[in-house]
Amino acid sequence: MRRLFRRVTSYSKRPPRSMSTNDLETVELKEVFHPELVSEAFFVGQNKVNCAVPIENGRCILYGTNDGIYMGEGQSAGMHCTRPKKVLALRDVSQVDVLESHRLFLAVADHSLMVFPMGVLYEGNLVTGVKYGTRICSDVAFFKTGMRGEKTMVAVAKVALLDITCRLFEVFSDRHDSMLRKRKEFPLPKNVFSFHFATVSILLGRPQGFDVMNPDTLAMQSLLSASKSSVKLLPVQRRPRPLAIYSCRIEADLEFLVCLEECAFYVDKTGGWTRRAFFLQWHTLRTAYALRNPYLIAFSSSGMEIYDIISGQLVQIIHGSNLRTLFAYDQPFPEDAVGDENKYQRWKQIILASDDQVYNLHLNSQPPSGLGSRTHTQTESDTRSSKTCNNP
């Protein structure tokens, strides 16, 4: 097997401060996460994998590709990876998700949101299975599933020629069936590119930052407005694109970890800068984030860096090639997943693509033997010649 991941583990002994990946660090080796190969040399050529979602408590993975929906094993079997199997004949799948408690599978295929009963994924008939799907909306840019109070919701961004609207659906289930019922439709700012469900409101990702919208009243306010102290942290020339936001209860205080392309920092519910000792900044733009308490994983196309969310210390670096994040649980309140087994397993799962390989990223319960004792000094250049990660 080809080895695309190289990992460097580090734990800084310096006090918390603004950090850069080019800093000279005194480090003690420690492995926190390790990548597990689950697919190799399968999604190649025109059949590019665009997205993924774990199902069955992580035992299987659904892949969305240019050629349809595939199902594969969520864990590798020794030295070999089983080949994913095509289960639905859809074209140009750009986004997938599942509502396992409602037994529903959702996919954006050729810009249309389709909903299927999950049973069709196991029947093995590629064409007949598509007939069981229901087209919910066309001209879809993206969608997001989440909880609003006790209700399971699906928010869909629908693009028209001159505007963009949000269609908000509620998921209903009885003993025999589940369905999506449209609750509301309202206009959105034209440059919205992401949704994040909070307890009552919806957070809108825009180039300017995150806006907090109440779907009932349509009242909207900026979390990072010009009057907030946190805005002073951002580059003057260009406002970094927001990628993720997480709630973190630290010392009984509820704070939000705001993650942008170039930096990450904490704010309170009014958008004011908190925890001023914690400020992460990068010279290479981040492409995605994932939160696995107590670690924040910051992804770029060349690898990932793992930080302690309390101290801000760099814990581990893992290098890859053409790295893309296919799945990471990104709800603002990840602690809500702990009470639900399906959500908890999704929160634990991180799925990555590196060239033609797909990996699961696992949090180690303890560092493997052979790591965790040696101290040395290294720079970013010397991390790139460090040990190669062995594939399973």
Distance CA 228, CA 234 (A): 11
Q: What is the CATH number of domain 43-136?
A: 2.20.25.650
**Tokens matching residue 122:** 């196991």
Specify the pLDDT at position 286. Answer: 95
For the stretch 196-236, pLDDT in tens is: 888 788 999 998 889 999 999 999 998 876 556 556 666 65
Mean pLDDT of the chain: 80
Specify the pLDDT at position 225. Answer: 63
pTM, entire model: 0.82
Tell whether the model's pLDDT for residue 272 goes beyond 50.
yes
Specify the pLDDT at position 226. Answer: 54
**pLDDT band at residue 237 using 50, 70 and 90 as cut-offs:** low
Helical segments of the chain, H only: 126-131, 341-348, 380-383
How many CA atoms lie less than 13 Å away from 154 in the CB half-sphere?
A: 28
- Whose tokens are 């396992």? That residue is 100
- Please state the rounded mean pLDDT for residues 117-122: 93
For the stretch 304-330, pLDDT in tens is: 999 999 889 999 999 888 999 999 987
Tell whether the model's pLDDT for residue 360 goes beyond 80.
yes
Better-predicted residue by pLDDT, 177 or 327: 327
Specify the pLDDT at position 364. Answer: 86
User: To 5 degrees, how large is the angle CA 348–CA 80–CA 363?
Assistant: 20
Instruction: Please report, as a single letter, which amino acid is at residue 373.
Output: S
**Coil, strand or helix: which one is 31?**
coil
Q: Report yes or no: 53 and 97 within 8 Å, Cβ to Cβ.
A: yes
**Tokens matching residue 363:** 């949090």
**pLDDT band at residue 78 using 50, 70 and 90 as cut-offs:** low
**Coil, strand or helix: which one is 238?**
coil
**pLDDT band at residue 194 using 50, 70 and 90 as cut-offs:** very high
Distance CA 225, CA 208 (A): 9
Specify the pLDDT at position 253. Answer: 77
Tell whether the model's pLDDT for residue 124 goes beyond 50.
yes
Strand partners, 244: 259
Better-predicted residue by pLDDT, 78 or 273: 273
User: To 5 degrees, how large is the angle CA 55–CA 58–CA 62?
Assistant: 45
Better-predicted residue by pLDDT, 260 or 23: 260
Distance CA 71, CA 92 (A): 16
- Please state the rounded mean pLDDT for residues 49-69: 95
Specify the pLDDT at position 229. Answer: 56
How long is the chain? 392
